[in-house]
Structure 1
């Protein structure tokens, strides 16, 4: 199996403007009922939103506006080359548009699939492709503009055949389809990873509309964020991977999600963080608190001393409380250290080596407010490795 010529989308290039994950280009008479049909179902079943035009007129000279737009709005294009692909002016016109979009370098990826044709036949327009172009040239022999169009088809075919893709002439077709689907699926998971770290940004809003349970669509069971792709071995290794996979896999699907064994706030936060992510104090569930709460809010913020974890825990305590309860809670916060905060922070301390714990306690207890350079000199004089 060969991989695509460029990464489908890396973290810095990911753009949410794509309407479709994949655009399928193919000659319907050759592969619609066979390879391309099975490939489309494989992509759809893995939650990959794929555009496949079922209403194309194979021998048309031009393609409609909505199809051109679909090409522009698809992040990946899979081109299934069959022996008679080049006989269709529709297909080669579509190919020219696909390669134009790729050359714009806006993050789109083109992957050729050589179904029952040698890649060299596509690259050099030989064998069945030579026969197709001979007919095109006869058709346009007295048409200068038409011959320029034919030359554009040749250029596009040569360019796409030079990209790395999949040659599936040998081997079991179903296995080749699984490899392609798995490769595309894994790339889309990586492309969504950068978005998973926006959950705490104030101003990133998401709203749930009415929730309707579909009657004809399959459900997704998220066992500790593992099974999101309907494959036994398609689970993730940790909650961060699972969190980034959810928007990638489920964004274009109607699903029933059953959240089972949710016994801690962190679980729900990783599964639906944009809904649960609090603004400011994690107490208002909106960006701007009421005027009457601002004074108490500032007291809590001041008490937190810049510790986000304290704001999060205390904000949860204050949520849905009235002003009298706020006053009592804030007074209690001032008097007592919150055990949950201490418990969470202590995890980092417990992870230190015994010698490191001693150094940490020395710095925390005796050098608060001192300049870093002065503290390092003292620690270095004890041969403790201050820089580390």
Structure 2
């Protein structure tokens, strides 16, 4: 039922906040289980099979995905893997105009990112993770320019529904073939 690697959706998020993890898990279930979109999700055994180096699997998925979905939050920016994923997705977008990113602003508005990228404690944290601070700042600034979904304190199920609709949009090219045919006839 999966759409295939040429239509894979990479779900970038942090699992450090249980509510954020629940939202991305619900989104994965709507995309993968309900409508058959191929997703890269860290809890999905097809994405990260036991016994394989997870960093290689993540990096390969970042290089081959069709769409990057970034659920950005204050917690997201404080952890190394989400920031590495964001930088890689922005690089893909810079190098390939057909590559799309859909930001999901979980507990933050796009305009708030402007001030957060100036936070010296965040810069120090990125340095401790051996991340390039300027590249992290530029990636966050670029992410602000993408049209996304802002949670704005809404109920989780309403937020997840809007996220799914924004992602499985006929312009993103990630819907399974059967769904694309339905969308083209509507």
TM-score computed with the length of structure 2 as normaliser: 0.75
1:185 matched to 2:168? The reply is yes
Q: Does 1:156 align with 2:156?
A: no
1:197-216 to structure 2, matched below 5 A, reads: none
Go from structure 1 to structure 2 and tell me whether the alpha carbon gap of 1:120 and 1:46 turns closer, same or farther (over 3 Å shift): same
Residues 123 and 52 of structure 1: CA distance in aligned 2, closer, same or farther (over 3 Å):
farther
Q: Residues 1-388 of structure 1 correspond to what in structure 2 (within 5 A)?
A: 18-30=5-17, 31=19, 33-44=21-32, 45-54=34-43, 64-105=55-96, 107-125=98-116, 131-137=121-127, 139=128, 146=130, 149-187=132-170, 191=173, 236=182, 241=185
**Secondary structure at 1:111 match in 2:** strand
Alpha-carbon separation, structure 1, partners of 2:163 and 2:94? 23
Give ranges in structure 2 of 5+ residues lacking alignment: 48-53
In structure 2, distance between residues paired with 1:236 and 1:118: 33
- Taking a change above 3 Å as real, the CA distance of residues 48 and 17 of structure 1, as seen in their structure-2 partners, is closer
CA contact (8 A) 1:76 1:109 kept: yes
- Which contiguous aligned blocks of 4+ residues in structure 1 show a shift greater than 3 angstroms? 16-20, 134-137
CA RMSD in angstroms comes to 3.5
* 1:100 to partner: Cα distance: 0.7
Q: In structure 1, list runs of 5 or more residues that go unmatched.
A: 1-15, 57-62, 141-145, 197-227, 230-234, 243-388
* 1:120, distance to aligned residue in structure 2 (A): 2.5
Greater radius of gyration (CA)? 1
Q: Matches of 2:185 and 2:122 in 1, distance apart?
A: 47
**Which secondary structure does the structure 1 equivalent of 2:66 belong to?**
strand
Tell me if the contact between 2:149 and 2:162 (Cα under 8 Å) persists in the aligned partners: no
Aligned twin of 1:318: none
Higher relative contact order (CA 8 A, sep 6+): 2
Separation in 1, partners of 2:146, 2:169: 20
